[in-house]
Amino acid sequence: MVHANPSATALLPIFSTALKTFTAFKSPFVVLRTLPSPSMTIPPQTIYVLDSSFNPPTVAHLRIASSAIEDHYKRNANPSSACRLILLLATQNADKPAQPASFEDRLVMMTLFAQDLLQYLAEAKSLPTMEPENEGPPSNLAIDIAITSYPRFIDKASAIASTAPFKRPATKTNLFPAPTEQYHLIGYDTLTRLLSPKYYPPNHDLSPLGDLFAHHRLRVTYRLSSDNKYGDREGQDRYLRDLRGGKREAEGGKREWAKRIEMEEGLGYGTSSTAVREAIFKGEDEGKEAVKEMCTRNVGEWIFGQGLYR
């Protein structure tokens, strides 16, 4: 079993103090907690980054994270192939009240979500490194609860790469090692923003993304909705084919970047943080049903215990 330590309620003042320090020192990136153990020292072979508002975390986040971790161990059956998952919250306005749930509440929910994810992986017995009699999570997996002041992925990736324990140490034969490879776990809608030139002044082209794609990868979840807001699956595949075919070269986009982007199945329609919040706001019965279906157990208990989103 994966247990909370300290209790979730005790984490609120801890995170409140951490956020004030983070804001005062203008830190770009800080890891606040590591599960299951803060003493894990195995150098990660790969870093998975799930960057979200976590308002609240949902089973869609669980699907994205668990499938990435499961695929990591399928590709790297060697038990020594350690990986870390960073649950990352961007807090550009950490000195202002966050709505509808505070940053402190979200960080608690991220911690509870990490516990639920570790428990899910342990019970699923889906990792090649896990023996049937093993009742705990993989010993070479750690989940970090982290915050950043950066809004752009290129800056987040750079900050992570230069922060211990994610930074590869120099050796006698390699004084300037390449960054540990990061997989950024994003939705299709985020991919379109990432590849939008308007976010990269002063030239407003995609050339600043060169370093990101030289060292890291994107694992993109299809975003399909009943209103077809993001287009259908074929349209989302076509967006990536256009990049591969050179149709973004005039904007600075490189064909070879498409090789660093993987498309991944999501949970389909209806599961989102917005759907959870809206259901809770509509009423207790509808809210309870939505939380039961779309949130993990510990996260759901925290939502109702704190009276969030009402």
- pLDDT tens for each residue of 191-224: 999 999 999 999 999 999 999 999 999 999 998 8
Query: pLDDT confidence of 82, banded at 50, 70, 90?
Result: confident
Helices assigned H by DSSP within the chain: 8-24, 59-75, 103-124, 153-161, 188-194, 210-215, 233-244, 273-282, 284-294, 297-306
pLDDT of residue 160: 95
pLDDT tens profile 112-156:
999 999 999 988 765 655 555 555 556 688 999 999 999 999 999
Residue-wise pLDDT for 86-121, tens only, equals 999 999 855 556 789 999 999 999 999 999 999 999
For β-strands 29-35 and 46-51, DSSP reports them as unpaired
Return d(Cα 87, Cα 200) in angstroms, integer.
25
3-class secondary-structure state, position 30: strand
Cβ atoms < 10 Å from Cβ of 234: 9
In the chain, what are the helix, strand and coil shares in percent, each to the nearest 5? 45, 15, 40
Tell me what the pLDDT averaged over the chain comes to.
88
For residue 286, which of 310, 255, 260 has the smallest C-alpha distance? 310
Kindly tell me if the per-residue pLDDT of 2 is higher than 50. no
Please report the pLDDT score of residue 5 as a whole number.
47
Query: Is pLDDT of 227 > 50?
Result: yes
CA distance 148 to 153: 11
Q: What percent of the chain has pLDDT over 70?
A: 87
